[in-house]
């Protein structure tokens, strides 16, 4: 029996894996994983304001328990810094460094080109429709 729903879900999973594998290959050149890149982009979006680990994890695409380990790896690369919050000494604040901002700035245009190439066979209208459909799938009933 033809199960259209099953085919749709499997195709979504395969396509998601395809995209992630390609992005991982792209980011490997910069010695970053998708998750590390996601953290740096979240921190850049903070416009210089610190964020704590729980807020950071909440904003991540892949919500996982190893965020602390990822942050530590990025700290060792000097792409972000961790510091104790002045108003609450139990709280650790995370900020992107100038080196992290520079790395992202160096990636930005190449990433735009990479993303365009990944969906180059789709028209603008098809991309808009794809986004609508994907958002529809994410809506919880």
Which residues lie below 8 Å from residue 106, measured CB to CB, with a gap of 6+?
A: 30
Nearest CA-CA partner of 71 in 33, 102, 104, 21:
33
Q: Please give the full DSSP string across 49-71, using - where no structure is assigned.
A: --EEHHHHHHH-SS--TTHHHHH
Tell me what pLDDT residue 141 has.
52
Tell me what pLDDT residue 87 has.
80
Q: From CA 130, how far away is CA 122, in angstroms rounded?
A: 9
Q: From CA 127, how far away is CA 92, in angstroms rounded?
A: 40
Q: Rounded to whole angstroms, what are the CA distances from 86 to 25, 55, 64, 72, 83? A: 39, 18, 27, 21, 9
**Which two tokens mark 127?**
């991309």
Q: What proportion of the chain, given as a percentage, has pLDDT over 90?
A: 75
pTM above 0.75, yes or no: yes
pLDDT tens-digit series, residues 114-126: 999 999 999 999 9
Q: From CA 73, how far away is CA 54, in angstroms rounded?
A: 17
For residue 76, the enclosing domain spans 4-138
pLDDT tens-digit series, residues 92-116: 899 999 999 999 999 999 999 999 9
**pLDDT-based confidence at 140, cuts 50/70/90?**
confident
pLDDT tens-digit series, residues 40-72: 999 999 998 999 888 898 888 877 768 889 999
Structurally, the chain folds into a number of domains equal to: 1
Look up the CATH number of the domain holding residue 125. 1.10.10.10
Nearest CA-CA partner of 78 in 58, 53, 95, 54:
95
Nearest CA-CA partner of 39 in 19, 21, 22, 58:
58
């Amino acid at each position: 029996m033809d199960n259209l729903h099953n085919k749709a879900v499997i195709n979504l999973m395969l396509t998601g894996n395809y995209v992630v594998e390609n992005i991982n290959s792209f980011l490997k050149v910069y010695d970053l994983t998708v998750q590390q890149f996601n953290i740096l982009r979240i921190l850049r979006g903070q416009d210089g304001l610190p964020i704590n680990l729980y807020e950071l994890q909440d904003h991540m695409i892949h919500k996982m328990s190893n965020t602390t380990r990822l942050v530590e790896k990025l700290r060792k690369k000097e792409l972000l810094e961790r510091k104790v919050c002045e108003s609450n000494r139990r709280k650790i604040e995370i900020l992107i460094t100038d080196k992290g901002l520079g790395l992202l700035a160096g990636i930005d245009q190449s990433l735009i080109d990479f993303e365009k190439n990944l969906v180059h066979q789709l028209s603008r209208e098809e991309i808009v429709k794809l986004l609508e459909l994907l958002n529809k799938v994410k809506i919880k009933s």
